[in-house]
Amino acid sequence: MTIPSLPRRRLLLLSAGGFAAVIAGCRTTDVLTPTDGQSRVETTAALSMVNTLRQSRGLSALSRNAQAEVAAVAQAKRMARAGQMSHLIGFNDSFAARMKGHGVPLPAAENIAAGQDTVQRAVQAWIDSKRHLDNMLGNFNGLGVAVAWDASSGNRPYWAMVLSA
């Protein structure tokens, strides 16, 4: 039986490892979450790096977007809770619905990372990845960045950057 509304990757999870996915989805852990002030600091630091990059390419600067920042905080926390770096967590997850739910103007893009100990290292990892770099050089106006830590894994940091129209 095929389920056309689910991506192929999820069909494999359902047929080959559905039980493991259910167990992973039920994981409980302490998540050390950013404070509102901290997410502003992360966004400000990332904005400086991204805007320097954009300006070197003749592109307009981005500005801090509060809704994108809230969406980034939510995604970083979701990944830390799940203990996995993934854009989609759970069977009914939808990037567009998440962005809409946080009031992020579309089009939007999301960069994620895990393990980097500073915002500068996370942004550099995105710069070093063509697909993530393309997002940062895209036709966007706003930016939000956040980090959350999975306390059960030695405080592994999970990063999210949301770029918005």
Residue ranges of domains in the chain, CATH in brackets: 39-87+94-164 (3.40.33.10)
Compute the average pLDDT of residues 116-135.
94
The predicted structure's pLDDT at residue 3: 34
Please write the tens of the pLDDT for every residue from 13-33: 222 333 322 223 333 333 444
38 pLDDT above the threshold of 80: no
Residue with more model confidence, 6 or 89: 89
Please write the tens of the pLDDT for every residue from 136-148: 999 999 999 999 9
85 pLDDT above the threshold of 90: no
86 pLDDT above the threshold of 80: no
Cβ count within 10 A of residue 17: 12
- CA angle in degrees (0–180, nearest 5) for 73-76-77: 85
The predicted structure's pLDDT at residue 27: 35
Compute the average pLDDT of residues 115-134.
94
The predicted structure's pLDDT at residue 92: 73
User: C-alpha distances in angstroms, 69 versus 29, 78, 97, 145?
Assistant: 23, 14, 16, 6
Residue with more model confidence, 131 or 156: 131
Query: How would you label 103-116 residue by residue, b for 16+ Cβ within 10 Å and e otherwise?
Result: ebeeebbbbbbbeb
Residue with more model confidence, 19 or 100: 100
103 pLDDT above the threshold of 60: yes
